[in-house]
Chain A
Amino acid sequence: MSAIPVAVPANETPWKLPSRGRVGMFCLIVAESAIFAIFIAAYIFYIGKSLDGPTPRQILRIPIFTTICLLSSSLTIHWAIAALRKGKTGSFAAFWFITLALGAIFLAGTGREWRHLIYQEDFTIQTNLFGTTYYSLVGLHASHVIIGLIALTIVMILALLGKVKQEHWERCDVLSLYWHFVDAVWVVVFTVVYIVGR
């Protein structure tokens, strides 16, 4: 025994609801943004409050090249999705690979920057307030980049195996939303850490 069916009204407009993947990803982005907001609030509050140790102006070098790479990767992923939407799986795979590469360059750049800070400048999370807030904020962002790269790699492998078809464009678009979010967060982190905080 189950539902009592109700008569279908003939005059209503067709029933269209938002896609659940997109809504779900927006919700995840909202939650992650709240986490970042707290770390950014802590960073801003602690600017200039370290009692000793190096200041941002002394040791931070602005990562212009890696930032350009990461922000360009938003463009290339957008082109990849546009290509897949039109069924051009070859272009899709190419743009997707470029996105992956640009993201990896960004990550490698952050790694190089950190190796310099830790080994040459002797600057770690425990050095002072600036160290604690810098490594947690940039590290939180980098960990989100890593997760994004893992997801992008999985799709890359599937694309190389020929399994990603035109009908999958919406799912890839949902993933690209996450990637755009990672980029947007970097814009804020970059501004706060390398521009405002210096």
Chain B
Amino acid sequence: MASESIPLAIHKGPLAVVYEWLATVDHKKIGLMYIVYALLFLVVMGIEAMLMRVQLAHANATFLSPQVFNRLFTMHGTTGVFFVAMPILFGFGNYLVPLMIGARDMAFPRLNAFSFWMTAFGGLLLYASFFAGDGFSQAGIAPDVGWFAYAPLTSTAFSPGHSTDYWTLSLLVAGVGSIGGAVNFVATILCMRCPGMTLSRMPLLAWMNLVMGGLVLVTISPLTAAQFMLMADRYLSGHFFDTAAGGSVVMWMHFFWIFGHPEVYVLIIPCFAFISEIIPVFSRKAMFGYPAMVAATVSIGFVSLGVWAHHMFTVGMPSYGNAFFVLTTMVVAVPTGIKIFNWLATMWGGKIRFATPMLFGVGFLFQFLIGGLTGIMLATAPFDWQLGNSYFVVAHFHYIIVGGILFSIFAAFYYWYPKMTGRMLNETLGKWHFWIFVIGFHLTFDFMHIPGLLGMPRRVYTYEAGRGWETWNMISSIGAVFQAVAILLFVYNMIVSYFKGAPAGNDPWDAWTLEWSTSSPPPVYNFAAVPVVQSRRPLWDIKHPEDPDWKYE
């Protein structure tokens, strides 16, 4: 069957093309804009990380001043969470969810566009801070209060000028975008499924984006509230976090982490979704334990709302407070573990094909598990009293974010790039990308645990010699170079394959969900006829009419 679309006879001038993208409400274009936007910020964030690693490679280094270093780690963290991870996951979700549920678009296309542009402008506002004030050479007045912006450091007394305001306002704007996006995901998944697609027949990606959307609604809002309070303190002489008037700075910590902890689940759940789509296809087996996966994801969503103060064990909460959060944090590991077992059980007895998406998927499984285990270590409060605010914590969360989230995002790219562009990414380059990145990731983050155990605190711009930290920091910095090379290979692969990649056809991976029934890229209307499904793997039913899934579900 021919898979090329009929070329339009109309020639579009460059202005028309720009307008088409600026004014689009099509979920596929908006998804692509989210993804490209996030990739640009991924590169920026990587540069910030490289600069910090250069500074930290030696003891008593003077490559960066302490003020610039503070701005770098603040911007690196804030950018990473809000302008790389959230947009890229919203982008993939936007692109894939309507296709996977047999819909023509998201429930609210204009809200979708609005949400994207709000997120985009938030990021631009944050980075405008580098160019404002003292100007670029002095790194402007970018926020330097850490990505969690603790009070009272953020009060006008301790943060004069506008750096904190750039942080607050850009995240408020982006938060509005996130809430809009979440409303869209929930409404789309509940209200726009094609006939026959009951909730128990939805692809797991749809389920997980549903849970993610619901979680965003109750997660971003506390941050929004806390930021209004911070602005009241800074501009209206309010006293929310003003200890001189009886206010509490610990309250900022509570409100921030009531946002901050579920936020990391917002980030990881869509990654679980990618893995849940990729591992079955490359093991040639249906997902093991679909109902358990759904139940586990929903319970992770709920339990994650009750663990926030494990970020505050060193603050001095009473013992029963600490104990409560130790227990809830350990409980949240249980459904997560169930999911890992289910992915392994899917692979067990399957015919595994180690194409690049599967390589990254297996990397995810291994690394996410280890990151989760160091998380359990940190969940025991006395252990955290020694290692809180040290590089052990930094190593733990980067293990999850880079080893887990970023690996699954790479897997998603290699898996769905053919659908989005009609071209396959180069497998050889993909394998080089994978192995170089794995080496770099482990060099940087495995060995980063050790300075943490030896007592190196985080957010220090340099450290004294003779404490045994230098070698490990140097190894971490060398690993960063490998990661940078791998990412450059990846970007090169994406650009070259766009023009010269092998044509993908509808269904290069012999997969089973509805998006693979459309052309690559799909037509703007997605489906010429509304699909009707009878099982969780509609394309399996079509390809194997003698042995359809609905006989067994």
A binding-site residues for B, Cβ under 8 Å: 1-9, 12, 15, 17-20, 23-24, 27-28, 30-32, 34-35, 37-39, 42, 45-46, 49-51, 125-126, 128-129, 131-133, 136, 140
B261 within 8 A of A: no
Are B192 and A17 in touch, CB under 8 angstroms?
yes
Q: Least Cβ distance of B391 to chain A in Å?
A: 32
- B contact residues around A37 at 8 Å (CB): 222
- Looking at B231-239, B278-286, B317-325, B440-448, the stretch in contact with chain A turns out to be B231-239
Instruction: List B378-395 residues whose CB lies under 8 Å from chain A.
Output: none
Whole-angstrom CA separation of A3 from B246 in the bound complex: 64
Whole-angstrom CA separation of A18 from B226 in the bound complex: 33
Instruction: List B220-252 residues whose CB lies under 8 Å from chain A.
Output: 220-222, 224-226, 228-229, 232-233, 236-240, 245-248, 251
Q: Which of B187, B525, B533, B538 is within 8 Å of A24, CB to CB?
A: B187
Whole-angstrom CA separation of A133 from B519 in the bound complex: 56
Q: Which of B190, B233, B245, B523 is within 8 Å of A23, CB to CB?
A: B190
Whole-angstrom CA separation of A140 from B228 in the bound complex: 10
Are B232 and A125 in touch, CB under 8 angstroms?
yes
Ordered nearest first, which 3 A-B pairs have the shortest CB separation?
A: A34-B221, A126-B237, A38-B225
Whole-angstrom CA separation of A136 from B525 in the bound complex: 46
Are B518 and A132 in touch, CB under 8 angstroms?
no
Q: Least Cβ distance of B410 to chain A in Å?
A: 28
14 A-B interface contacts by CB (under 8 A): A1-B506, A2-B523, A5-B529, A6-B532, A8-B532, A18-B190, A20-B108, A27-B186, A27-B213, A31-B221, A38-B225, A42-B229, A45-B248, A126-B237
Q: Which of A4, A125, A129 is within 8 Å of B236, CB to CB?
A: A125
Are A35 and B186 in touch, CB under 8 angstroms?
no
- Looking at B1-9, B72-80, B449-457, B489-497, the stretch in contact with chain A turns out to be B1-9
- A contact residues around B186 at 8 Å (CB): 23-24, 27
A-contact 0/1 string along B201-218, CB 8 Å cutoff: 000000000000110011
Q: Least Cβ distance of B4 to chain A in Å?
A: 8
With A1-B2, A23-B186, A132-B239 as contacts: A38 and B192 at CB distance below 8 Å? no
Among B214, B247, B248, B542, max chain A CB count under 10 A is at B247
Whole-angstrom CA separation of A140 from B240 in the bound complex: 15
- A contact residues around B213 at 8 Å (CB): 27
Are A34 and B218 in touch, CB under 8 angstroms?
yes
Are B107 and A24 in touch, CB under 8 angstroms?
yes
Whole-angstrom CA separation of A122 from B455 in the bound complex: 52
With A28-B183, A31-B183 as contacts: A49 and B519 at CB distance below 8 Å? no
Q: Least Cβ distance of B1 to chain A in Å?
A: 6
Q: Least Cβ distance of A123 to chain B in Å?
A: 13
Q: Which of A8, A24, A125, A131 is within 8 Å of B183, CB to CB?
A: A24
B6: nearest chain-A partner, CB-CB: A1
B179 within 8 A of A: yes
Q: Which of B236, B248, B523 is within 8 Å of A126, CB to CB?
A: B236
Whole-angstrom CA separation of A23 from B187 in the bound complex: 6
State the total of A-B contacts with C-beta under 8 angstroms.
154
Q: Least Cβ distance of B544 to chain A in Å?
A: 13
B258 within 8 A of A: yes
Q: Which of B108, B240, B518, B532 is within 8 Å of A7, CB to CB?
A: B532
- A contact residues around B224 at 8 Å (CB): 35
- A contact residues around B193 at 8 Å (CB): 17
Are A9 and B529 in touch, CB under 8 angstroms?
no
Are B527 and A2 in touch, CB under 8 angstroms?
yes
Are B187 and A20 in touch, CB under 8 angstroms?
yes
- A contact residues around B238 at 8 Å (CB): 125-126, 132, 136
B531 within 8 A of A: yes
Are A125 and B237 in touch, CB under 8 angstroms?
yes
With A18-B190, A31-B220 as contacts: A6 and B531 at CB distance below 8 Å? yes
A-contact 0/1 string along B156-170, CB 8 Å cutoff: 000000000000000
Instruction: List B1-43 residues whose CB lies under 8 Å from chain A.
Output: 1-3, 5
Whole-angstrom CA separation of A38 from B259 in the bound complex: 11
Q: Least Cβ distance of B81 to chain A in Å?
A: 19
B291 within 8 A of A: no
Q: Least Cβ distance of A198 to chain B in Å?
A: 18
Whole-angstrom CA separation of A129 from B233 in the bound complex: 11
A-contact 0/1 string along B495-525, CB 8 Å cutoff: 0000000000010000000100111001101
Are B532 and A129 in touch, CB under 8 angstroms?
no
B337 within 8 A of A: no
B541 within 8 A of A: yes
Q: Least Cβ distance of B481 to chain A in Å?
A: 42
Q: Least Cβ distance of A141 to chain B in Å?
A: 13
Whole-angstrom CA separation of A112 from B360 in the bound complex: 63
Q: Least Cβ distance of A176 to chain B in Å?
A: 18
Whole-angstrom CA separation of A140 from B229 in the bound complex: 11
Whole-angstrom CA separation of A133 from B526 in the bound complex: 50
Are A30 and B218 in touch, CB under 8 angstroms?
yes
With A35-B222, A38-B222, A42-B229 as contacts: A129 and B239 at CB distance below 8 Å? yes
- A contact residues around B397 at 8 Å (CB): none
Among B5, B225, B528, max chain A CB count under 10 A is at B225
Q: Which of A3, A12, A27 is within 8 Å of B182, CB to CB?
A: A27
Are B529 and A38 in touch, CB under 8 angstroms?
no
Are B191 and A2 in touch, CB under 8 angstroms?
no
Q: Which of A7, A20, A42 is within 8 Å of B191, CB to CB?
A: A20
